[in-house]
Chain A
């Protein structure tokens, strides 16, 4: 399907490959205190904005996701990350809803990030790029919507890091958000998850090609480091059951062990493939910055150590979803959010989906999940008076 264009404001440019982009009119004051001017936001839209602008669904992508939610990805040629769920007649039906997804601030697919040019120096930002947070990422999205003339959001939906953004949206902009669906996420990054991110970052920084973050200036690419980071992270997105079912101890293109360090096992070959295809589409410095943004996220500590304070008096409808085999963002994390929301008598639904596919289950075809998601979103749309498709 072809994305439909949103109303185009004057600041919009269009990249021949990456599509529409908006330069934010105002500088972004970051959580760190630094200011970032001329922030570019690259985004995609699907479906059509209705006359009273009441059918807006904001999708927040995960760590290594991007704005290309469905249809064919212009860089990889593969299907978008949520092609199963978003489109005509799908769970999030673009006949009824206007879906918008922006590449996150700090990302590497058109939005301002460490691989873009620092206007002050005329060179790639590299490590001169300021450290950003989930709050900054969402603030940039909010300003993008301002400039697109969109005030209210019917529903903000996101999985994993997207769930953090959905929570941040509901926390920071409660009057703009009617409903929020944080999927397989948390209100703060756990010690274990920070640890995994640190492994990834160290792998990148240990690669000599990374060159203290200056690889773009020097025409180098820290492929090995980024690939190892991806391989380690990819394991955390799956589950032992899923890995065993897919690969077991099966050997790769051979009938016997080679008594060496080649990829004897299919699972090794698979991970290497995951690592090396990732480096073609992702920037190593972006990986450092975005993982850091996730690590810093903690809605409880920002609110006096009490998560419930983040949602006091909130009129936002919440639907939390977790998956039984997700050990990266286990159900207990979602349940903690539910407890906090109950403590302020917020309107909340919570479903744990049975799946053995691990954290990545939210990206996959899980009928129970899809039924829950469509039921919740359509229920919100009905309550909000959005015309049916």
Chain B
């Protein structure tokens, strides 16, 4: 009789290899904490955090098919829009709120950032850097809106409506009294680069960055 039943999917092991930048984010999370992954996709990072860090992991995702896939793996994910739904969560509900490569696609990035740090003690935010030399070069020489491996869309169909450079982001944090606890400069492939994540050098040579923010 037992062979009739399909074996339940393993939820304690990540189903696929994670992007390198997600691995970096995962390494920043302490074990046995409460985490909200905002824009969690099909739950790759959540699944890893649950399995390897025994984290109380929750997710918010706008795509219904990805939510279905995440919930089907036994993950706690709801379908919703971060710009409206983050407001529901009470203050300090989580230890970490994670936002990967999404802030630049929000309508009100400042409010989103404020909400992340309201509902969690720490926010882990990753961003593409619009100040990278290739981007500057493409605009300077090509005279058209830049397209790179990190920013692959045309100006008219890109979801990224609030692109910024690293220095822009550092300025915003200052203006909002947000403390940058840690910062990592990353290559296009998500590999860590050995220079300050918040300086002019990173602003020119990092394709993306990851920041750990606190109030």
- Could you say which of A317, A350, A389 contacts B78, with CB atoms under 8 Å apart? A350
Is the beta-carbon distance between A354 and B71 smaller than 8 angstroms?
Answer: no
Q: Which residues of A contact B71 (CB under 8 A)?
A: 319, 349, 351, 372, 375-376
The verdict on A375 contacting B6 (CB below 8 Å), with A338-B78, A345-B89, A348-B78 known, is no
0/1 string, A73-95, CB within 8 A of B gives 1: 00000000000000011000101
Q: Which residues of A contact B11 (CB under 8 A)?
A: 379, 382
Q: Which residues of B contact A339 (CB under 8 A)?
A: 85, 88
Is the beta-carbon distance between A375 and B73 smaller than 8 angstroms?
Answer: yes
Is the beta-carbon distance between B67 and A350 smaller than 8 angstroms?
Answer: yes
Is the beta-carbon distance between A351 and B58 smaller than 8 angstroms?
Answer: no
Q: Which residues of B contact A338 (CB under 8 A)?
A: 78, 80
Closest to A381 in B: B8
The verdict on A380 contacting B5 (CB below 8 Å), with A345-B90, A351-B64, A352-B64 known, is no
Is the beta-carbon distance between A388 and B8 smaller than 8 angstroms?
Answer: yes
- Could you say which of B5, B6, B8, B56 contacts A382, with CB atoms under 8 Å apart? B8
Q: Which residues of B contact A35 (CB under 8 A)?
A: none
CA distance A132 to B6 in the complex (A): 41
Is the beta-carbon distance between A95 and B2 smaller than 8 angstroms?
Answer: yes
Q: Is residue B72 within 8 Å, beta carbon to beta carbon, of the partner chain?
A: yes
Interface size on B, residues (CB 8 A): 32
Is the beta-carbon distance between A349 and B5 smaller than 8 angstroms?
Answer: no
Nearest CB of B to A244, in Å: 24
Nearest CB of A to B106, in Å: 18
- Could you say which of A88, A350, A372, A381 contacts B80, with CB atoms under 8 Å apart? A350
Closest to B67 in A: A351
Nearest CB of A to B96, in Å: 13
CA distance A379 to B4 in the complex (A): 19
Q: Which residues of B contact A50 (CB under 8 A)?
A: none
Nearest CB of B to A155, in Å: 12
Is the beta-carbon distance between A349 and B78 smaller than 8 angstroms?
Answer: yes
**Could you count the A-B residue pairs with CB atoms below 8 Å apart for me: how many are there?**
92
Nearest CB of A to B77, in Å: 6
Q: Which residues of B contact A347 (CB under 8 A)?
A: 56, 58, 76
Closest to B74 in A: A379
Is the beta-carbon distance between B64 and A317 smaller than 8 angstroms?
Answer: no
Q: Is residue B7 within 8 Å, beta carbon to beta carbon, of the partner chain?
A: yes
Q: Which residues of A contact B64 (CB under 8 A)?
A: 351-352, 354
Q: Which residues of B contact A368 (CB under 8 A)?
A: 68
Q: Which residues of A contact B80 (CB under 8 A)?
A: 335, 338, 350
CA distance A374 to B72 in the complex (A): 7
Closest to A317 in B: B76
Q: Is residue A343 within 8 Å, beta carbon to beta carbon, of the partner chain?
A: yes
Nearest CB of A to B151, in Å: 31
CA distance A226 to B12 in the complex (A): 51
CA distance A335 to B60 in the complex (A): 13
Closest to B73 in A: A375
CA distance A383 to B9 in the complex (A): 13
Closest to B93 in A: A345
Is the beta-carbon distance between B1 and A95 smaller than 8 angstroms?
Answer: yes
CA distance A388 to B64 in the complex (A): 28
- Could you say which of B1, B2, B72, B78 contacts A375, with CB atoms under 8 Å apart? B72
Q: Which residues of B contact A135 (CB under 8 A)?
A: none
Nearest CB of B to A89, in Å: 4
CA distance A161 to B68 in the complex (A): 24
Q: Is residue B160 within 8 Å, beta carbon to beta carbon, of the partner chain?
A: no
Nearest CB of A to B34, in Å: 8
Given A354-B64, A378-B9, A381-B8, 5 other A-B contacts at CB below 8 A?
A88-B1, A317-B76, A348-B76, A376-B74, A382-B12
Q: What are 11 A-B pairs with beta-carbon distances under 8 A?
A: A88-B5, A319-B71, A342-B78, A342-B89, A347-B58, A371-B68, A372-B72, A379-B73, A382-B11, A388-B8, A389-B5
8 closest A-B pairs by beta carbon, nearest first, are A379-B74, A375-B72, A89-B4, A345-B93, A342-B88, A350-B78, A378-B8, A389-B5
